[in-house]
Amino acid sequence: MNLPAQTRPRFFAQRRLACFILLVLFFSGCAEVPLTERKSLSIVPHSDVVALGFQEYRQVLKKAKLSRDPEKVAMVRQVGKRIARAAEWFLRKEGMEEDLHYYHWEFNLIENDKVINAWCMPGGKIAVYTGILPVTRDENGLAVVLGHEVGHAIAHHGDERLSQNLLANFGGMALSVALAQRPQATRELAMAAFGMGANIGFLLPYSRIQESEADRIGLMLMAKAGYNPKGAVSLWMRMKQQGGKTPPALLSTHPAPSSRIADIRHYLPEAMALYRRSR
Ligand SMILES: [Zn+2]
């Protein structure tokens, strides 16, 4: 571009200012995923996402039949508490202390043998369906699933998916406005975004990148909690065998790329070192 000599500095100053504003806008709409340091889209304040999550959790529990099997309920709470403690350690280690106050852990076992699923909402609200217990088999298997689900929550994948959904469906409308104008549609988007979509028949698979991030964080959480991360390989193999005509809800929302087991093996040394230190 040929600019008169005296206007060049002003032009470049304006361009720098424009770049600066764009950068500020970009990063204010971004969050960073721990471990991988990937930048993810986040146009909704996390406090709003958590508040909506808590509200939806209460709704799900109100309609659900909770398990009355004291042994199974105790196991879910026991594994859940250990993973939650590891998650708090992980947040501190990753310099995400400001996230700690959002977590109000709760673990519930929902009586439904047909649903092979579990999820963790933003803010640490967890549901496990009795149908997944034959696949997880024992505490170690359940720790794989809960570690993975809590991994999605820690990486703010729900926030990212909700932001993407709001952009795609309502042109990036603020959450409060979307809830006021289209309450039902917005709540369904949120449930799908938080991985609970199977319950409203609206499935939204996590992306391959999100799955891989949740696998990696999950391995670290279970290792820190004292569960052998090698169990992740056998758990995902058993989950895959559940396929057939009606694949488990967990697999519909958490698609398993063919490379999943290989990726998990790749992250195992890092997790095994932590497991040995944590025992
Ligand atoms: Zn997942």
Q: Of the residues 106, 149, 188, 213, which is catalytic?
A: 149
Residue found by looking up tokens 């986040």 in the block? 42
Average pLDDT over residues 226-255: 84
* 37 noted as active-site residue: no
**Which is more confident, 69 or 194?**
69
> What is the average pLDDT score of the chain?
87
Residue 1 confidence (pLDDT) above 50: no
Q: How far apart are CA 187 and CA 243, in angstroms?
A: 29
162 φψ region: left (φ > 0), alpha (ψ -120 to 50), beta (else): alpha
Residue 264, Cβ neighbours under 10 Å: how many? 22
pLDDT at position 156 is 94
Ligand 1 centroid distance, CA of 16 (Å): 41
Q: What is the pTM of this model?
A: 0.85
pLDDT at position 202 is 65
Phi, psi of 236, rounded to the nearest 5 degrees: -70, -30
Ligand 1 centroid distance, CA of 157 (Å): 9
Residue 43 confidence (pLDDT) above 90: no
| DSSP helix/strand/coil, 215 | helix
Residue 173 confidence (pLDDT) above 70: yes
